[in-house]
Structure 1
Amino acid sequence: MAIAGILFDKDGTLLDYFKSWSPVNRKLALIAADGDQALADHLLRSTGMDPETGHVVADSLLAAGNTEEIAEGLVAAGSKLSARQLIEDLDGLFAEAALNAVPVTDLADFFGRLKARGFKLGVASSDNELSIRRTADRFGFAAYLDYIAGYDSGYGCKPEPGMVWGFAEAAGLEHAEILVVGDNSHDMMMGRNAGAGMTIGVLTGTGTRDTLGPLSDYCLNDITEIETII
């Protein structure tokens, strides 16, 4: 089937991961460590980020986990806060992060061009739904979206297929008409598990050609190159 709908991941796909999330990751570690910098550095390493270089390991908790998974990982690594408290704190932090996020391109123009070509458009993120909506509002593409799903929207979590199936139902599409775009293996596997017609990996996040190549139909530098593919 021809592609009729495109479902985008948010962080590392629409937003430059390292410019947007490196300071957020450092802040979440300090929250989880209750201000203890040495413990915060340990928590960062345990969840996938080098506190010295800022490098985040592809498919690690900080790269691909949802808030609940990250909170549980922080507790397992030594945070004295409860997972429930961390989930509440981190969801609030992530919603605020939209205010300082850095897009990979002019997202309003990009989504506008795709909508003008007749595509149904959605965003599916391991972040919470409020964060997605704030991002879409801030960068001016909310009006172009037919669907939004966060880990807390009731469609399940990546790499489960539910977010893709929810998009298909909301947009009136067959699963095989959907293109899934993301920056990590969870995104690609979600697309495959859902029977999506195509998966595209982008290199503006934590994924690499080595991690994304075997799981995607195309591996591109950023989302703007999608327009030449479709």
Structure 2
Amino acid sequence: MPWRLCSVRFGARGGRTPKGLMNGIHGLVFDKDGTLFDFRATWGGWSRRMLEELSGGSDGLVRTLGEAIGYDLETGSFAPDSPIIAHTAPEIAAHLLPHLPGADGAVLVARMNALAGETDLVPAAPLVPLFEALTERGLRLGLATNDSAAPAAAHLRMAGIAQFFHFIAGFDSGHGAKPDPGPLLAFAEATGLDPARVAMVGDSRHDLVAGRAAGMRTVAVLTGIAEADELAPFADVVLPDIGHLPGWIDTQEMAET
């Protein structure tokens, strides 16, 4: 069976406004892949390893599987519509199963999750100092990923930042999956924050559409596959990476004083 983990909460939570924050942003909810971690550098290796394992050494099958999920093994690049970018593990598996006669979907998803837990993570920015700085501001922090919750929590621990998060939700946490706003609204409810005082930070349209639907501000970052012109219509701001968040938050607070 695939791992299941309901929303995981680290650190404090409650309904009061964070100390020192009267205006601007009170919370941030992050996507994971392509946002906290550089997408191409992190998930290219995972995709290659998974496809080579599934193909059993067949050059023809490995190419077919790569095409099915929009991954080019020769260049290490992803197609803009690759399900790897923003879809859940079962949705990715659904693209592969037609080419794997007799394969069991649940077993495939479990193996994908196991490989995800072993992936070498490439941070999109220096994560520990960034999250220390965000925590010092009194911000409440959450994660809403279309990955499974268990490997997502493991990735935060591996990166040394799990302790900064008040809330973690995967597609299997019971709140739905982006672009549904459910995981984002669950973060707001768990932390007692007005969604209007929360920013959704992500690298895909799924992230930003979910943020808009939740009534949150939306921050796009360019450490995924999507380009700025694709994300800009859904974003309040487009940043090179999450390392630029403190400066943007300062502009939001100044705008309301």
Shorter-chain TM-score range: over 0.9
- So what's the TM-score if we normalise by structure 2? 0.84
Query: Post-superposition shift, 1:210?
Result: 2.2
Among candidates 150, 154, 175, match of residue 195 of structure 2: 175
Cα distance in 1 for residues equivalent to 2:227 and 2:150: 28
> CA shift at 1:207, angstroms?
1.3
User: Which of structures 1 and 2 has the bigger CA Rg?
Assistant: 2
Letter of the 2:218 counterpart: T
1:212 aligns to 2:236 (yes or no): no
Match of 2:29 in 1: 7
Change (3 A) 1:31 1:49: same
What's the CA shift for 1:93? 1.0
Contact 2:126 2:243 (8 Å CA) reproduced: no
Distance of 1:176 and 1:228 partners within structure 2: 19
Q: Which structure has the higher relative contact order (CA within 8 Å, separation 6+)?
A: 2
Q: Which residue of 2 aligns with 1:166?
A: 186
Tell me how many residue pairs correspond in the alignment: 226
The match for 1:150 is 170
Code of the residue aligned with 1:139 in structure 2: it is A
Match of 2:212 among 192, 201, 208: 192
SS in 2 for 1:180: strand
Superposition deviation, residue 74 in structure 1: 1.0
Structure 1 residue runs without a partner (length 5+): none
Query: What is the DSSP-based 3-state SS (H/G/I as helix, E as strand, rest coil) of the residue aligned with 1:159?
Result: coil
Stretches (4+) displaced over 3 A: none
> What TM-score results when the alignment is normalised by the length of structure 1?
0.93
The one of 189, 193, 201 aligned to 2:220: 201
Looking at structure 1, the residues matched to 104 and 91 of structure 2 have their Cα atoms a distance apart, in angstroms, of 13
- 2:85 aligned counterpart, secondary structure: helix
Query: Which residue, 123, 145, 154 being the options, matches 1:103?
Result: 123
- SS at the partner of 2:225? coil
> Which secondary structure state, in structure 2, belongs to the residue aligned with residue 63 of structure 1?
coil
Report the CA distance between 1:184 and its aligned residue.
Answer: 0.8
Partner of residue 141, structure 1: 161
Q: Which has the higher helix share?
A: 1
Taking the aligned partners of 1:32 and 1:68, their CA distance within structure 2 comes to 16
Q: Percent identity?
A: 37
Indicate whether 1:227 and 2:218 are aligned: no
Give distance in 1, aligned partners of 2:113 and 2:52. 15
SS for the counterpart of 2:77 is: coil
State the alpha-carbon separation in 2 of the partners of residues 116 and 59 from structure 1. Answer: 38
Q: Secondary structure in 2 aligned to 1:199?
A: strand
Kept in 2: contact 1:48–1:56 (CA 8 A): yes
CA deviations 1:133-190 (Å, max 9, x no partner) are 1121122211111100111111111111111011001111111111001111111111
